[in-house]
Amino acid sequence: MSKSIVECVPNFSEGRDSKILAEIVNSIESSGGVEVLDVDSGHNTNRTVVTFIGSPDDVEEAAFQGVSTASQLIDMRKHQGEHPRVGATDVLPFIPVSNVSMEECVTMAERVGGRIGKDLEIPVYLYEQAASSPGRRNLAAVRVGEYEGLREKIKDPLWRPDYGPSVHNPMAGATCVGAREFLIAYNINLNNTDRRYANDIAYALRERGRWKRTGNIEPFYYKGKVVQFSQDGKFPCGPCDFIADSFGDLEKHYSEEHGGDLSERYESLGINHKHPSGPVFDDGSFKEVKAIGWVIDEYDRAQISINLTNYKVSSPHQVLEAARREADKRGVVVTGSELIGLIPFEALKEAGVYYRKRAMKSTGIPVCDLLETAIQSMGLRDVSPFDIEDKVIGLPASGGPLVNLNVTNFVNEVSRDTPAPGGGSVAALAGALGGALTSMVANLSVGKAEYDSEYDRLCDISCQAQTIKDLLVAGVDADTMAFDSVLAGMRMPQDSEEERTLRLAVIEDGYKRATLVPLETAKLCRRAMELADEMADLASSTMMSDIGSGCLMAEAGLRSAIYNVRINLPHIVDLKFQKEVQSQIIELLSNAERFRDSVGEKVEATLDL
């Protein structure tokens, strides 16, 4: 099953000195337990973005070590670059990927921020979901004034750091620590090289929409310069002398010549581009979406370049389908799409489910098949390769050494003169096969006219059966490993009374674990039998033998698992634990008989004697 995974994407204010960057990355990797996925440096921005993942505890430690090393090696007094920044480690966001909540990431940001402030004496500002006040939620607002203005800004009571000293740190500056949703960088490909189409569709999709105000508009000023509009209705660039006749032309110019989104530039400067005297926008179709059009010479086509800042609000497949509709209105074809960087497993799985439902196909299929459906439906291999292992973050574990054996080798392994794999692993496999058969029958039923009215129910059965199957497959290896803690306890020294007491406690805990693992297997097998019984009410008579076989396999798994539970119970001293388990055994066996008899009657009614 999926592990708890957090992503961290620190931005360091150094993009030119490879030795400094190597030391920072090494400090992150050597902290242990994390995987560095990407290191992206920019010379002009003088900035490096490092992406790494791991368990929450490991990511916290790696993040702190990276900040600590950067604070020793990067001197902000000498830093020059195009990108806004306030410190050596400019931003440090924590992002939930798998089995981790946003609340947990906020807590991580608070813990790491506190440690940076206390141990490294660096002022820390919390932002995004971790922000201590609404005014600090927007990173651009926290960055106003940048490093050069930090000495004075930090004196303002309104900008007192959340952690660390309220005095300027000349070398390290300040660090913004936050928690945010996973950002998906996603491009949609068009069948031409006309940027106007890409921009036009981008404006229809993105949250900010398109500019609609006309006529003379009051200017915006920054550091004494007009950065947007002049009184005669023209549109000066600001960073250069270019003057556009329309806001759309200004956006196009800024993207091509200066690289980026014009509104993000204003935000980084602390300018509200939606000020009454500034541009007014028609809202686009999707919240949490930024988009702009460009042309990629390498692919010889235009693209809609999109940042999905919260895929749980606006998902890639939803935006893609809207882009397809907008393109069709304009006589343009979307040929596919491209993922830049990584995509969370849940986002791609959700897309697979969407396209299966749209075709009235079963959604209860193996995870790998769901992901492949999404990849093909979204055209993710249109202009570049797409490998699931490389592109999808938070994939469920593919299984341990036993389940990765082929059938012959697994059976041979069971038959050898070794205690494991034994009955517990075989029980889990039997139950998994039982769940798989029920899912198969449900999937074969979907798409037949007589079952159209039962589509949702069949999908629900097949999805539940797939989940049970996957849990039981994982149980094949889990059962073999469950006894390891007992063996570890038996190997402990027992030379003193204290050592003997500790040894017995460890062995007791080991036997409890060795009992609970097959007990969970039995519960899952019971659920597989229940689903078989439900499917027996729907299945065609031609498939009832498969339902019966699945139910019997699940029953065999249940009873075999209970044997493994019972053989461990006498070794457990905890009488309360024993009684609770024995009570559950009685209930499980009673349920098994009921479901077996129910399914058996339904199967027999369809068979010729």
Spatial distance between the Cα atoms of 471 and 45, rounded to a whole number of angstroms:
47
Report the candidate in 105, 261, 264 with the shortest Cα–Cα distance to residue 181.
105
122-126, 216-220, 326-330: which has the minimum mean pLDDT? 216-220
What's the whole-number average pLDDT of the chain? 89
Q: For 99, what's the count of Cα atoms within 13 Å in the CB-facing half-sphere?
A: 12
Tokens of 584: 């559950």
- Among the listed residues 17, 75, 79, 83, the single catalytic one is 83
pLDDT in tens, 47-65: 998 999 999 999 999 999 9
Question: What confidence tier does 222 reach under pLDDT thresholds 50, 70, 90?
Answer: very low
What are the beta bridge partners of residue 400?
Answer: none
Residue type, 77: R
pLDDT of residue 428 exceeding 70: yes
Q: What is the pLDDT of residue 212?
A: 55
Tokens of 45: 């921005």
Report the candidate in 376, 349, 379 with the shortest Cα–Cα distance to residue 364.
349
Residues with Cβ within 8 Å of residue 329, at least 6 apart in sequence: none
Q: List C-alpha distances in Å: 173 to 2, 72, 77, 361, 398.
A: 38, 12, 9, 56, 44
pLDDT of residue 219 exceeding 50: no
Q: What is the pLDDT of residue 218?
A: 46
Question: What percent of the chain stands above pLDDT 90?
Answer: 70
Known active-site residue 390: no
Burial of 185 (0-12, 13-18, 19+ CB in 10 A): middle
pLDDT of residue 226 exceeding 50: no
What are the beta bridge partners of residue 338?
Answer: 187
All structural domains of the chain, each given as residue ranges with its CATH number in brackets, are 5-179 (3.30.990.10), 407-604 (1.20.120.680)
Cβ neighbours of 39 (radius 10 Å): 16
Cβ neighbours of 377 (radius 10 Å): 19
Burial of 388 (0-12, 13-18, 19+ CB in 10 A): middle
- SS3 readout for 250-274: HHHHHHHHHCCCHHHHHHHCCCCCC
pLDDT in tens, 500-538: 999 999 999 999 999 999 999 999 999 999 999 999 999
Question: What confidence tier does 2 reach under pLDDT thresholds 50, 70, 90?
Answer: low
pLDDT of residue 236 exceeding 60: yes
Residue with tokens 């988009």: 291
Cβ neighbours of 379 (radius 10 Å): 17
Contact 243, 235 (CB under 8 A): yes
What's the full length of the chain, in residues?
609
Contact 36, 25 (CB under 8 A): yes
Question: Is 0.75 surpassed by the pTM of this model?
Answer: yes
Q: Phi and psi (nearest 5°) for 333?
A: -115, 130
Q: Phi and psi (nearest 5°) for 233?
A: 85, 5
Spatial distance between the Cα atoms of 144 and 267, rounded to a whole number of angstroms:
9
At residue 354's C-alpha, the angle toward residues 203 and 4, to 5°, is: 95
Q: What is the pLDDT of residue 375?
A: 98
Tokens of 36: 């560095």
Spatial distance between the Cα atoms of 64 and 324, rounded to a whole number of angstroms:
44
- Among the listed residues 162, 479, 533, 546, the single catalytic one is 479
Rounded to the nearest 10 degrees, how much is the dihedral formed by the CA atoms of 287, 290, 294, 296?
A: -100
Tokens of 502: 């500790």
Cβ neighbours of 600 (radius 10 Å): 15
Burial of 188 (0-12, 13-18, 19+ CB in 10 A): buried
What are the beta bridge partners of residue 8?
Answer: 52, 94
What are the beta bridge partners of residue 94?
Answer: 8, 179
pLDDT in tens, 338-359: 988 789 999 999 999 999 999 9
Number of H helices, E strands in the chain: 19, 19
Known active-site residue 261: no
Question: What stretch of H or E contains 69?
Answer: helix 56-73
pLDDT in tens, 7-26: 999 999 999 999 999 999 99
Cβ neighbours of 156 (radius 10 Å): 9
